[in-house]
Amino acid sequence: MRLAIYFGIVLLVVFLMTQAFPEALSDGRDKFGLVYYLVLLLGLGSLWVMGLRLNLKQGIKYALLWAGVFAVLIIGASLWQDFAGPAGRLAGRMAPGNVEQENGAYWVARSQDGHFYVNAEVEGTSVRFMVDTGASLVTLSARDAERLGIVIENLDFSVITQTANGTVAVAPVTLSDVVIGGLALQDVSAVVSDGGLDVSLLGMSFLDRLNGFERRGDRLILYP
């Protein structure tokens, strides 16, 4: 009973944290770290709870078992950054949005929903974009705009634009810097959507300032 209560508390805390800070897990490495620390907490907690009722021999047995689990996780974490070639592409498919560098260009893998996503740093804040070549400007969702410190009430939503979901009112803004992988652009023209946008869009106001981009199979390649 004590073990079940402990597990329930840990899982509840993790759930509440992911709801409060959803962007904290936009990167695949962050998700790997969450799994690592979650297993660590569960392992230490189970040892503590079971230690109250197990004898010394059983306690050592469980301690060795968890030590092996932790060793595998630590080795996996140390090798995570060194994946390359096919392994790197597999990692990209498992965590779409991660930007990889290869032969002087940058690429992202297509997500399972058929779209391309990129994890960017906008004015120092992590923002997840869906690449949309049909959008003339970088378009921020109201939620992401607020995370960037933009006061929605102070914006002028007088510009009307046509999207796949119908007519939408947007407000023009300028992003002082947008960083995607090794690509860094300053003073990027953008708009904030009045609502109904679940994910921010990486439009042509960013893509047009690159030397080029292309889709090659399940990859979107960006040329600096």
> Could you read off the pLDDT tens digit of each residue along the chain, which spans 224 residues?
555 665 566 566 656 555 554 444 444 445 555 555 666 666 666 655 555 555 556 656 666 666 666 666 656 655 544 444 444 444 444 456 789 998 899 999 999 889 999 999 999 999 999 999 999 999 999 999 999 999 999 999 988 887 766 788 999 999 999 999 889 999 999 999 987 788 999 999 999 999 999 999 999 999 99
Look up the pTM and report it: 0.59
| Residue 87: predicted pLDDT | 45
115 residue type, one letter: H
Say what the pLDDT of residue 70 is: 61
DSSP string of 83-122? --HHHHHHHHHHSTT--EEETTEEEEEBPTTS-BEEEEEE
Angle at 117 between CA 111 and CA 121, to 5 degrees: 150
pLDDT at position 90: 46
At 152 the pLDDT is 93
The pLDDT assigned to 14 comes to 58
User: Hey, how many other C-beta atoms are within 10 angstroms of the C-beta on 166?
Assistant: 7
Q: Write down the residue that tokens 């962007």 correspond to.
A: 23
pLDDT at 23: 46
Give burial (CB, 10 Å; 0-12/13-18/19+) of 55.
exposed
